[in-house]
Amino acid sequence: MSDQVSGENLPATPEAAETQPVAVRKGMWSEGTGDTSGYGGLVRPLPTVTGSTPPFGSYFDAIYERLIELVPDGVSKVVVDRGEFTVYVPREKLVEVMQAVRDDAHLRFEFCASASGVHYPHDTDAELHVVYELQSMTHNRRLRLEVTCPDTDPHVPSSVAVYPAMDWHEREAWDMFGIIFDGHPHLTRILMPDDWVGHPQRKDYPLGGIPIEFKGAVVQPVDERRSYR
């Protein structure tokens, strides 16, 4: 019988995972007020999740136990936060873990919906993350896998051999964040021009600081335009 996520057997609060502040977000990064402009001067601490310990609740324990049985060194951390289950995987074990969760009859995560890049400048030696959203059609379960790599060595194994649909997802993560997927069949830009310099969704990328040309007309960078304040 398929397992469903139920509020009765999931941790009730984010305290299931230990958190600690690592940075402060200002203005548009604050929550709860609708202030997306940044002009409100709002400030809030940014927590980092350090991990959860079993039992996790729901079907999460079954996935965890089966995964460490199949790949004993394939889990570096587990986070259960607000009813969502994330398994952190060492990057050198990513393909092996993906193969296991896809093919094992007890897991059978046949569908990988996305591979998303993330940039956390304050996460020392793990500034770049790749997040994979998986679903088991057979068991009606969801699983998030996450890998990290440092700015100084932005390499992650490609998952295209296991989930072919990740081809363009990995290209986008390379294009926007500069994450290199080793073994990808054709790792080229997918959104930006081939000769574009830099990776626009990194937090250290200049915001609106590059003139854009449209058929001979130039749109000035945001910080050079007229101010309406």
The string of pLDDT tens digits covering residues 110-166 is 999 999 999 999 889 999 999 999 999 999 999 999 999 999 999 999 999 999 999
Q: Which residue has the tokens 């990328």?
A: 205
- pTM for the full predicted model: 0.78
Q: How many CB atoms lie within 10 A of CB 144?
A: 14
pLDDT (0 to 100) of residue 14: 40
Q: Which residue has the tokens 């937090």?
A: 203
The predicted model gives 31-47 an average pLDDT of 60
d(CA 144, CA 134): 6
Top-ranked range on mean pLDDT: pick from 25-34, 168-177, 204-213: 168-177
Higher pLDDT, 92 or 222: 92
pLDDT of 8 above 50:
no
Q: Tell me the HSE value of 11 on the side-chain side, using a 13 A CA sphere.
A: 20
Q: Quick one: pLDDT band at residue 24, thresholds 50, 70, 90?
A: confident
Q: Which of 45, 48, 150 has the alpha carbon at shortest distance from 91?
A: 150
Three-state secondary structure string covering 142-167 = EEEEEEEECCCCCEEECCCCCCCCHH
Beta-bridged to residue 136, according to DSSP, are: 141
Give the CA distances from residue 52 to residues 61, 71, 153, 162, 226, in Å, rounded to whole numbers and listed in that order: 12, 19, 27, 28, 49
What does the DSSP 8-state code read for residue 61? Answer: H
Provide the 3-class DSSP secondary structure of residue 45: strand
pLDDT (0 to 100) of residue 170: 98
Mean pLDDT of the chain: 83
Query: Which of 17-26, 90-99, 179-188, 215-224 has the weakest average pLDDT?
Result: 17-26
What structural domains does the chain harbor? Answer: 52-224 (3.30.460.80)
Provide the 3-class DSSP secondary structure of residue 105: coil
Q: Which of 185, 187, 165, 184 has the alpha carbon at shortest distance from 176?
A: 187
pLDDT (0 to 100) of residue 82: 86
